[in-house]
Amino acid sequence: MKKLFKQSIFLLALAVFSGCKMDIVNPNGPTDAQVVSTREGLITYSIGMKQNYAASAFEALAITTGGTTREVKGIATFTNVLEIEAGGSALPTFNGNVLGVWLRMNRVMGMADDIIASAPTVLATDNAMRSGVVAHAHLFKAMAIGGLATAFEQVPTQTNKAGGVTFVPRQQGLLKAIELLEQAAALLAANAPSTEFNTRVLGANFNLLNCINAYLARYNMMAGRYAQAIAAANLVPLSSASQFNYDGAQTVNPLFNQLRVVNSFSPRDNFGLPAGMFDAADGRLAFYFQGSPVTSGSDVLRTIRGFAQTNSSPIPVYLPDEMRLIKAEAILRSGGLVTDALAEINAVRQQSSGDVFGVHANLPAYSGSILVPDLLLEVYKQRCAELYLSGLRLEDSRRFGRTAPPNNVNPVPTSFERNRNFYPYPDQERLNNPNTPADPAI
């Protein structure tokens, strides 16, 4: 009976949804409130929150925004896939992929909120477990807010089980994510997590503090806080690897599943970039792609490799060289020394060995113009290659000022590197929440 209850808790926590409801109701299983009311339930729920993000929320962010930024091409005849591929102002508010990004990120945020609210009471006498569980929840809540801020102009920063959440501009959402991460780091500094937490919740190859600092660097960069981005990036060891693990059965690598099993989308060759934006000698092409190129209309498609070789391949929580590229960008945008930025760029370009995930550009040193706009363009190129299908390119495309798509041409021509700036808010949210903002033009 005890084993069955634990399995019910796990399945509830891990629920991956593709419909239009925020929760899957199992009349024979415990509710969220029941799960987080016990020590064992809270620990299991924390494990489920991480796996929910890894298997479900990350999939929606990487694949849907990857379609918007041309990293992958929608090749299935399903309407929702074709709508993402077309983009433009005609993208409907009932698109299922956009709804997936919205629901899945909000589900992770809701799980994190449950943990943050319950842990102080349930784990009142267990400081070492409580600090780990709450810091872990802060990290994933920040990741959920950051994912929403990548896709939408305005975002919620707190869930409300009664409905009617309020929205804040995405900049304010990013600042909230940063605040959560800073709180998480402070919790770990005050009380080191227990061995039980590290073993049961984090598992192998997941360094919580390094992940917190990596996402602090990322979101400070997105928010335009350059000094803070550099400081956080400097705290992340390049030799440390944190990853999401999949067992290939209960949890499946979402990139493998979408790009090699479901096949609704297919990777575009050359990272989905136009001529002049990639180097044919880049070693990361052979890392991320395999097999012979296949022509599909005006596109050349490849088979995914990289972090999607099997249904149980791990996916990095972040790539270490993102920290180098964050520092290069922040230095350039804050008026720092060009030579310092160039050193970070070349560390990424020239790397031929030693990356903990095996991602090596193996290119010569940069030899182009060292004017700041040109170096920023080089940073963007390196980010597109290094961080392929990580869910970051839509934000990058906007931040680096890549040409915005027209708001009166449908579908958006593939000559544009992205076919939307932000997504419209899903009908499900608008019909149930009077606080839903107006949709962006494109």
Query: Residue 383's domain is classified under what CATH number?
Result: 1.25.40.390
DSSP string, 207-224: -HHHHHHHHHHHHHHHTT
Total number of domains in the chain? 1
Q: Is residue 419 situated within a structural domain?
A: no
Q: Is residue 411 situated within a structural domain?
A: no
The per-residue pLDDT for range 47-98, each reduced to its tens digit, is 999 999 999 999 999 999 999 999 999 999 999 999 999 999 999 999 999 9
Alpha-carbon Rg for the chain in angstroms: 21
The per-residue pLDDT for range 249-275, each reduced to its tens digit, is 999 999 999 999 999 999 999 999 999
Q: Is residue 121 situated within a structural domain?
A: yes
Distances 434 to 94, 155, 156, 199, 286 between C-alpha atoms, Å: 17, 14, 13, 43, 49
Q: Is residue 125 situated within a structural domain?
A: yes
Q: Is residue 414 situated within a structural domain?
A: no
Q: Is residue 274 situated within a structural domain?
A: no
End-to-end Cα separation, the chain, in angstroms: 52
Per-residue pLDDT of the chain (442 residues; tens, 9 = 90+): 344 444 444 444 444 333 334 444 555 567 788 889 999 999 999 999 999 999 999 999 999 999 999 999 999 999 999 999 999 999 999 999 999 999 999 999 999 999 999 999 999 999 999 999 999 999 999 999 999 999 999 999 999 988 899 999 999 999 999 999 999 999 999 999 999 999 999 999 999 999 999 999 999 999 999 999 999 999 999 999 999 999 999 999 999 999 999 999 999 999 999 999 999 999 999 999 999 999 999 999 999 999 999 999 999 999 999 999 999 999 999 999 999 999 999 999 999 999 999 999 999 999 999 999 999 999 999 999 999 999 999 999 999 999 999 999 999 999 999 999 999 999 999 999 999 999 999 9
Which residues form the domain of 393? 2-269+281-306+315-401
Sign of CA dihedral 200, 205, 208, 212: negative
Q: Is residue 56 situated within a structural domain?
A: yes
